[in-house]
Structure 1
Amino acid sequence: MEYRYLGKSGLMVSRLSLGGWVTYGGQVGPEVAQMCMKTAFDLGINFFDTAEVYSNGQCEIDMGVAIRKFGWKRSDLVISTKIFWGGKGPNDRGLSRKHIIEGTDASLKRLQLDYVDLIYAHRPDLDTPMEEIVRAFNHVINQGKAFYWGTSEWTAQQITEAHAVAQRLNLIAPLMEQPQYNMFHRDRVEKEYLPLYKTFGMGSTIWSPLASGLLSGKYNDGIPADSRLAIQDNAVMKRIRDGLETEDGQVKISKVIKLGAMASQLGCTTSQLALAWCLKNPNVSSVITGASKPSQIEENVKSLQVVPLLTEEIMLAIEDILLNKPAADYNYRSS
Structure 2
Amino acid sequence: MEQRHLGRSGLLVSRLGLGTMTWGQETSPDEAAAQLAGFVDAGGTLVDTADVYGDGDSERVLGRLLRDLVPRDDLVVGTKSAIRPNGRYDASRRHLLTALDASLDRLGLEHVDLWQLHVYDPMTPLEETLAALDEAVASGRTRYVGVSNYAGWQLAKAAAWQRAWPGRAPIVSTQMEYSLLHREIEREVVPAAEDAEVGVLPWSPLGRGVLTGKYRTGIPADSRAATTRYAEFVRPYLGEQSRLIVESVSTAAEGLGVSPLAVALSWVRDRPGVVAPIVGARTPSQLLGILQTEDVTLPAEIRDALDDISDV
Instruction: Report the TM-score when normalising by structure 2.
Output: 0.94
Separation in 1 of the partners of 2:80 and 2:125?
19
Asked whether 1:280 is paired with 2:278, we answer no
Q: Which residue, 175, 178, 181 being the options, matches 1:178?
A: 175
Distance 1:85 1:251, change over 3 A: same
Which is further off, 159-168 or 132-141? Answer: 159-168
Residue pairs, 1:312-331, within 5 angstroms: 312-324=300-312
Asked whether 1:3 is paired with 2:3, we answer yes
How far the C-alpha of 1:167 sits from its partner, in A, is 3.3
Separation in 1 of the partners of 2:71 and 2:35?
18
Q: Which residue, 221, 227, 242 being the options, matches 2:223?
A: 227
Q: Which runs of 5+ in 1 are unaligned?
A: 325-335
How far the C-alpha of 1:297 sits from its partner, in A, is 1.9
Name 1:82's counterpart in structure 2. 80
Distance 1:31 1:10, change over 3 A: same
Distance 1:251 1:162, change over 3 A: closer
Distance 1:319 1:88, change over 3 A: closer
Which is further off, 274-283 or 190-199? Answer: 190-199
Would you say the 8 A contact 1:87–1:93 is kept in 2?
A: no
Name 1:47's counterpart in structure 2. 46
Separation in 2 of the partners of 1:28 and 1:64?
15
One-letter identity of the residue aligned with 2:182 = H
The alignment yields a C-alpha RMSD, in angstroms, of: 1.8
Separation in 2 of the partners of 1:109 and 1:86?
17
The C-alpha deviation readout for 1:47-92, integer Å capped at 9, x for no partner, is 100001111111111111112121x332221011110123249xx8
Would you say the 8 A contact 2:89–2:121 is kept in 1?
A: no
Separation in 2 of the partners of 1:106 and 1:45?
26
The C-alpha deviation readout for 1:120-166, integer Å capped at 9, x for no partner, is 11000001011101111111111111111111011121122223332
Tell me the secondary structure at the aligned position of residue 95 of structure 1.
coil
List 4+ stretches of structure 1 deviating above 4 A. Answer: none
Separation in 1 of the partners of 2:235 and 2:181?
16
Percentage identity across paired residues of the two chains? 36
Instruction: Report the TM-score when normalising by structure 1.
Output: 0.88
Q: Which runs of 5+ in 2 are unaligned?
A: none
Q: How many residues align?
A: 311
How far the C-alpha of 1:244 sits from its partner, in A, is 5.2
Q: Which residue, 244, 247, 254 being the options, matches 1:257?
A: 247
Tell me the secondary structure at the aligned position of residue 171 of structure 2.
coil
Would you say the 8 A contact 1:16–1:287 is kept in 2?
A: yes
The C-alpha deviation readout for 1:173-198, integer Å capped at 9, x for no partner, is 3111001100011121x231344344
Would you say the 8 A contact 1:57–1:110 is kept in 2?
A: yes
Q: Which residue, 102, 105, 108 being the options, matches 2:104?
A: 108
Distance 1:5 1:110, change over 3 A: same
Distance 1:244 1:197, change over 3 A: closer
